[in-house]
Structure 1
């Protein structure tokens, strides 16, 4: 059995930026993000001495089993140990958990917060099999509330003939910090699809 026989599609996560992250070194932090799906593990570059890092990096995973956890980790480098963000997929929804750490060469990474997001609305929008919408059309809006970690409204929208969802996540268990992400699903010809 080949990879294409089991391939559902591609999940691209754009790690945009961190906003007002906690200081974990003398006067700043060295943040990076680690994402993990099954045995696949990818990370962004380290942004040195910056509590408002701009990553603007796409991390792309092949998806063969929607029940595998997707681990999203947003960290700040202070040691060589990354932080972890775990996104679990159950039936038709994802429930991610994000943890931010600071990397330090002299000590263990410092935790910089965590966040959890429910991706069920995104998967539901994908399963609607929409097409031909005007660019920028908002398909759904998720409002911040006490049960999610959204810092502001999250929009599922039609962009460049694809459905994307943007998040600004407020980090928990830390004095401050937000992380911005964008999700995009890519169907591949010959794959099973969702």
Structure 2
């Protein structure tokens, strides 16, 4: 049986400069995968700079890995095309949140940071903050295995009571 340690609330904010996969544009949507779970945004028709502002929830298992983010182009007559992907390392946020305890008792402040490097898809450093009693992290990712494209997410960590 899988033991869950928390809920990851992922707000898929927007994509930028996504690649054309149809004739002139693309019909993008985002798939998030964590362990055996998958969650998907709505499809936005004919837009290379889509704004989703859509929240997806995933349960975080005790032995969690990276959150896999994939952007696809929906095709009606053929299989959907991949428009890029990236991994989000959840460890900095979960470690920081666990170290600081109950965020409801703390003032708004920065509690950690996931640093941009050549080994990850971050566009810039990503700070981990307590905002209004919630642990949040804004993440801007450069999509991998494509010529162009980026995606902005906001993560929120909700621990399960021990």
| TM-score, normalised with respect to structure 2 | 0.86
Highest relative contact order (Cα 8 Å, sep 6+), 1 or 2? 2
After superposition, the Cα gap between the structure-2 partners of 1:37 and 1:153, relative to the gap in structure 1 and judged at 3 Å, is closer
What is the correspondence of 1:93-112 to structure 2 with a 5 Å cutoff? 94-112=65-83
2:21 to 21, 24, 41: 24
Structure 2 unaligned blocks of 5 or more = none
After superposition, the Cα gap between the structure-2 partners of 1:176 and 1:123, relative to the gap in structure 1 and judged at 3 Å, is same
1:187 to 125, 145, 159: 159
What is the correspondence of 1:1-194 to structure 2 with a 5 Å cutoff? 7-37=4-34, 40-63=37-60, 65-67=61-63, 89=64, 94-128=65-99, 129=101, 131=103, 132-135=105-108, 137-188=109-160, 191-192=161-162
Q: Superposition RMSD on alpha carbons, in Å?
A: 2.2
Structure 1 unaligned blocks of 5 or more = 1-5, 68-88
Q: What count of residue pairs does the alignment treat as equivalent?
A: 160
Q: Equivalents in 2 of 1:185, 1:25: separation in Å?
A: 36
Q: Equivalents in 2 of 1:12, 1:41: separation in Å?
A: 13
| Equivalent pair of 1:125/1:163 in contact (CA under 8 Å) | no
User: Which residue of structure 2 lines up, in the alignment, with residue 75 of structure 1?
Assistant: none
Cα deviation, residue 112, structure 1 = 1.1
User: Which residue of structure 2 lines up, in the alignment, with residue 72 of structure 1?
Assistant: none
After superposition, the Cα gap between the structure-2 partners of 1:187 and 1:120, relative to the gap in structure 1 and judged at 3 Å, is closer
| TM-score, normalised with respect to structure 1 | 0.73
Q: Equivalents in 2 of 1:36, 1:117: separation in Å?
A: 10
